[in-house]
Amino acid sequence: MRTALIAWDYPPAPSGLSTAAREIAESLAQAGTDVTVFTMDREGIETTGGVRIVGCPPATGGALARLRLWGGAGHLAAPLAFRRAVLAEHRAKAFDVVEATNWYAPAVLLARRSPVPLVTRNSTPAAFSREAAASARDRIDGWAADRLERAQARGSAGLISNTADHARRIAVEYALSGDQPHEVIGLSLAPEVLARAQGAPYPESAEPLRLLFVGRPEHRKGFDAILGAAAILAREVDAGALPPFEIRLAGVDPDGLPTDLPAGTRRRFQPLGRLPEGDLAREYEGAHAILAPSRYESFGLVYQEGMAYGRPMIASHEDASAREFVGATGAGSMARETSGPALADAIRPVLADPARRLALREKALTAAGRFSRETLGQDTLALYARAIERFHARKR
């Protein structure tokens, strides 16, 4: 089996999509697959973790780089670059299958009239993360991105989603017919991450207590609820009802906080910006709990990472993945909804009660490690086989 994997970025780039891409690529390589990753975040060719990585960003000042500046149509620049790079490699040595993320449809131009079957692994659709359009250009950009994602999904020979609820949402969002094989395959954590996490002691109860948020400061991630909860709980700290706490924000720059945030609330936050893996690992090690009140996650790697470290999770009942991974396992405190008051109610007992934190830690450790590279690689190859069979049957 020879696989091409299309990714926007790849480690050491610190993003959820890059982490997922590495887990997919290295799990396939571990299963004996010849894997080549095509990515936009670098130039040249390198090999790491048994995976060949080909950088293919549009040339600076070239036609595709200029195309990216155009509203709507600019979303085709990356798919053009990816198609050109993949087909050039395919002519030299044929691929059996191409896999790509759905997010902003990087493989949409390989979904039709391609010599290679395409499998789309669904992350969160772009529409679920965008803020409200502030201009006509923003509306055109959003409309174009959504149509391209739908076209890539519909033109794929097979589809992968991370949970059953995610698969249902994807089928509705992209108006899928149900003809393609569509499997639920969970992601894994890297062996070195698991090893470090399992060896990480729980921090002493020294104050302030640390709550760690990992992600972008957006509505889907529940960032508005975090701001609201922090304001409520900060007043309770000032009144002596709760121990001091700080919320450490991995992935959030200082300008990600509202400028009108009251000073008493603002001092509870520590924006850390985007962190490399080693720094993020140290943040997990130093955290007393993980703050992850997303309204929707396609899978929720933060849940898996936090539980691997044995950190109590604070999540929202609104997210199906949180209900499955956190609520059903008892690995955390669940907010009844993603709002400031509800999130404050979920955080308060975790801050107030050291015994509760330790009890949640034990349940998190018990629930961790449900997904491995072995199952990820084997399940992915099984879906590839079905997609390849469907692709060639339709060509006959």
Residues 66, 184: one domain? yes
Asked whether the CA dihedral 21, 26, 31, 35 is positive or negative, the reply is positive
- Cβ atoms of 216 and 255 within 8 Å: the answer is no
Residue 355 contacts by C-beta under 8 Å, 6 or more apart in sequence?
none
- Total domains in the chain come to 2
> Does one domain contain both 146 and 275?
no
Cα angle 202, 207, 208; round to 5: 100
pTM of whole model > 0.85? yes
164, 290: one domain: no
Residues 170 and 50 reside in one and the same domain: yes
The verdict on 387 and 259 lying in the same domain is no
- The alpha-helical segments, DSSP class H, found in the chain are 16-30, 63-67, 77-92, 136-155, 164-173, 191-198, 223-238, 263-266, 277-286, 301-308, 320-322, 340-352, 354-367, 373-395
The reported pLDDT for the residue numbered 71 is 75
Q: Are residues 332 and 361 in the same domain?
A: yes
> What's 312's DSSP letter?
P
**Exposure string over 163-192, b if 16+ CB within 10 A, otherwise e:** bebbbebbbebbebeeebbbbebbbbbbee
What's the gap between Cα 179 and its chain centre?
Answer: 27
Is the domain of 30 the same as that of 149?
A: yes
Q: Which domain holds residue 202?
A: 192-367
Residues 6+ apart with CB under 8 A from 263: none
pLDDT at res. 16: 85
Output phi, psi for 371, to 5 deg: -125, 135
Provide the CATH number for the domain around residue 308.
3.40.50.2000
Same domain? For 25 and 169 the reply is yes
- What is the spatial distance between Cα 92 and Cα 41, in angstroms, rounded to a whole number? 23
User: What string of pLDDT tens digits covers the 396 residues of the chain?
Assistant: 999 999 999 999 888 899 999 999 999 999 999 999 999 999 999 999 999 999 999 888 888 878 877 877 888 999 999 999 999 999 999 999 999 999 999 999 999 889 999 999 999 999 988 877 778 888 888 999 999 999 999 999 999 999 999 999 999 999 999 999 999 999 999 899 999 998 999 998 778 999 999 999 999 999 999 999 999 999 999 999 999 999 999 999 999 999 999 988 999 999 999 999 899 999 999 999 999 999 999 888 899 999 999 999 999 999 999 999 999 999 999 999 999 999 999 999 999 999 999 999 999 999 987 778 999 999 999 999 999 999 999 877
Residue 224 and residue 353 in one domain: yes
Amino acid at 101: T
Co-location of 150 and 275 in the same domain: no
Q: Are residues 250 and 333 in the same domain?
A: yes
Note whether 126 and 203 are same-domain residues. no
